[in-house]
Amino acid sequence: MSRRHGVMTLAVLGLLHESPMHGYELRKRLNSMLGAFRAFSYGTLYPCLKELLGNGWIVESDPVQAAPTATATPPALSGRRARIVYQLTAEGKEHFQSLLSESGPTAWEDEQFSVHFAFFARTDAETRLRILEGRRTRLQERLDGVRQSMARTRERLDSYTLELQRHGQESVEREVHWLEGLIEDERQARQGTTTRGGDDDAPSARGRTAASTEDN
């Protein structure tokens, strides 16, 4: 028991790590963080929060009611509906870190990768590198599969199917290229901090951000 709600758990713990929040806001931030990749509905969020509560990873904090435009609103229950603000417990933080340090397929598969990546600033350098490399290898395998299949079925496919394969292949190739840049950055950042085994905060990816936009 405990490993339910795959991606959401990690994402929610990560966001609450920054600051306490209520459900509605949590979901908005979640979907803006991962906007291009996926979206969650309330039907996933609220049950997930319930479970996190049950596991003692989060607690309800004072329902701090942010002033509803006009500031001076009397005590008790005014300004909108009473919001339930959640915050991380010590165990929650610990669990978050242990989730972050997982570097198996669970971290680099399609749905999970983007969330893990989003919290790389809190992930130690070794794990970051292993996840990036794991994903690159995974995509490379997929590419091999696609290339073989295109070689085998050559000419026998209609133009739409062919175009789909071509487009799919190109997308995967692009992501591999992106990953390779990131991996190189990680390696170079490691040179800077010599043999240190420590975890520190974001190495501000200089160079790469520019490099990957070069062909604008």
Partner DNA sequence: GTTAGCATGTAAGGAGTTACATGATTTT
Partner DNA sequence: AAAATCATGTAACTCCTTACATGCTAAC
In 3-state terms, what secondary structure has residue 58?
strand
Each residue 21-60 as x (binds DNA by CB under 7 A) or -, in order, gives -xxxx------------xxxxxxx-xx-xx----------
Q: Which of 4, 50, 167, 187 binds its own copies (CB under 8 A)?
A: 167
For its own copies, the closer of residues 78 and 148 by Cβ is: 148
Closest CA to 119 of 205, 4, 13: 13
Q: What is the DSSP letter of 47?
A: H
User: Alpha-carbon distance 172 to 139, whole Å?
Assistant: 7
Q: DSSP code of 121? A: G
Q: Could you tell me the CA-to-CA distances from 12 to 30, 45, 122, 129, 156 in Å, in that order?
A: 8, 9, 14, 23, 48
Restricting to residues 43-82, name those near its own copies by CB under 8 A: none
State the number of binding residues for its own copies (CB under 8 A). Answer: 49
Which residues ranging from 134 to 163 are in contact with its own copies (CB under 8 A)?
142-143, 145-146, 149, 152-153, 158-163
Find which of DNA, its own copies, none residue 37 binds, CB within 5 to 8 Å per kind: its own copies
Are 4 and 53 a contacting pair, CB within 8 Å?
A: no
**Is 74 a residue that touches DNA (CB under 7 A)?**
no
Residue from 1, 2, 3, 36 touching its own copies (CB under 8 A): that is: 36
Q: And the tokens for 190?
A: 């490691």
Rule CB under 7 A: which residues touch DNA?
A: 3-8, 22-25, 38-44, 46-47, 49-50, 66, 68-70, 78-81, 83-84, 111
